[in-house]
Structure 1
Amino acid sequence: MTPWLAWVVVTLIGGLVGLGELVSRYRDAPFRAATSPPGVVYIVLNAVAGVAALALSRQLGWVMATDRGDIPLGWVLAAGFGAVAVLRSSVFAVRAGNQDVSVGPSALLQIVLQAADREVDRTRATQRALAVDRAMEGVSFEKAQAALPAYCLVLMQNVPQDEQERLAREVAALADSEMPEAAKARALGLALMNVVGEGVLQAAVRSLGEQIR
């Protein structure tokens, strides 16, 4: 593998792993989270780790280029995935109160991830509030609590059973709560948005129309 391609590959390995983590944490709008400033920092940190691992390996003479100057693919993959593993490792754990605190690269990565979580949560909270207001305007919780979740889940063909059960518990808790009707409807919309996303929720509300208003 040519040197320039090797650098591209290790960058992609680290970046895609970071992207995958963010996507799994923000199911309702994964790519909005990934393209936010803190999300980009997290992805770049993972990508830089891969590049640094390959650079260090070459500097220490661990990676031997071929006669043509190419870098073996195995070493490139080892550097990329090795950096990802090292970033998530801990040297030892310290007991602090009732918690075990990891000491090592994973601690730094966790701090960055938590900062990204908070910033993305704040950004997404504003966007989600506006989105659920638009989607659930005029929707009656009493009429929608059974029909809307069922219809959204039918539209989505691959929602895991555990997520469906968790959604059912959330809807049941809302039905038993003493919140105002409008607040219940918004909370129902947010619960559905977490599972099916903003676009599917809006489409389902439009499709059901007056049946849930």
Structure 2
Amino acid sequence: MIIEMFLAALIGGAIGVAELVARYRDKPVAALLSPGGLLFALVNTGASVVALIAVTAAGWRFGLPYTMPPTALLVVHVIAAGLGSAAVLRMSFAPAQTSTPGTGPIALLNGILRIADGELERKRALSRLSHNDLADLSFERDHAALAELCCHLLREFDLAEAQRLGGLAAELSARDDLTDADKLDCWGLELTRLVGERALRQAARRLRDRPQEERRPAEDERLASVAAEPDPPAEPASVPPPRPPLGKTSRLAPHANGRSERKSFSDV
């Protein structure tokens, strides 16, 4: 029975560890060794052992025939206890037509994850602020290139993460009460949460070592001459000459001999 309990605990613990690693991709080892991470793994392993004891005590055979060897039945019990306990712990109950989060065993895991989140956030902020990995960089000039480098390091990038980064960049750019260094620190903390400190450090080093493009002297002289050249005076708008007034034409035009003659047959 001890071996079966160990195997069931191993399955439940592996599921908990995999969830922690997927959640804290930048520092998975620190997340596992934190008090919140250890408590999360302990709850998953304990639930698997309790589920195995309950299944064995109830004598459930899961539809297997009685001719099945006892070893095969124990294997089924171990797998059912490990996977079933993980499924039960992540169950949530909520009304069907409401958007409020549900309650249930998932609330216990969410509370433990919030504890781990707080611990990891404090460690990450302390480690980030104790090193100046983004020296000689500027938020206004380098935040887009830095984000592109960090995002392309990931094989799969979540759309929600991209939207959150875009919203943060727009918010920091619109803030006038923060200096460029403050904005760069906030941006670095967000990228550290995404890719980790080592990847951010390497991306910043690549941007720092990249040579800055300098304009050629000829182009500088041309731009300076264009800027120094005064604008030509505006020519006065030409006013068209006034049109002569239209006089009323008479149907009878004077003749050269002093007589008047008709101009058309319609005057008859």
Range of TM-score over shorter length: 0.7 to 0.9
TM-score normalized with structure 2 length: 0.64
Map of 1:67-86 to 2, 5 A cutoff? 71-86=73-88
Could you tell me how far apart the structure 1 residues matched to 2:126 and 2:29 are? 16
Kindly state the Cα deviation for residue 19 of structure 1 after the two structures are TM-superposed: 1.8
Structure 2 match to 1:129: 129
- The equivalent of 2:108 in structure 1 is 108
Contact map agreement 1:93 1:101 (CA 8 A) in 2: yes
- Tell me the alpha carbon deviations over residues 4-33 of structure 1, each in whole angstroms, 9 at most, x when there is no partner: 553333112211222233233323323311
Give the drift of 1:67.
5.7
**Unmatched segments (≥5 aa) in structure 1:** none
More helix by share: 1
Identity of aligned residues (%): 36
CA distance in 1, matches of 2:141, 2:20: 35
Matches within 5 A, 1:197-208: 197-208=196-207
1:33 paired with 2:31, answer yes
Q: Which moved more, 1:200-209 or 1:68-77?
A: 68-77
Q: State the 1:56 CA deviation.
A: 2.1
TM-score normalised by the chain length of structure 1? 0.78
CA distance in 2, matches of 1:145, 1:34: 31
Partner SS, residue 84 of structure 1: helix
Question: Do 2:25 and 2:196's aligned partners in 1 also have CA atoms closer than 8 Å?
Answer: yes
**CA 1:81/1:154 → structure 2, altered by over 3 Å: closer, same or farther?**
closer
RMSD across aligned positions (CA)? 3.1
Deviation digits for residues 38-62 of structure 1 (CA, Å, limit 9, x no counterpart): 1111111101110111122222333
For the pair shown, which has the larger CA radius of gyration, 1 or 2?
2
In the alignment, is residue 147 of structure 1 matched against residue 149 of structure 2?
no
| Distance across 1 between alignment mates of 2:30 and 2:75 | 33
The CA distance in 2 between the partners of 1:18 and 1:121, in whole Å, is 20
Query: Quick check: 186-195 or 57-66, which moved more?
Result: 57-66
Give the ranges of 4+ consecutive aligned residues of structure 1 lying more than 6 Å apart after TM superposition: none
Counterpart Cα distance in 2 of 1:25 and 1:82: 22
Which structure 2 segments of 5+ residues have no match? 213-268
1:47-66 aligned within 5 A: 47-62=45-60
Shift of 1:70: 6.2
Match of 1:172? 170
- Larger RCO of the pair (alpha carbons < 8 Å, separation 6+): 1
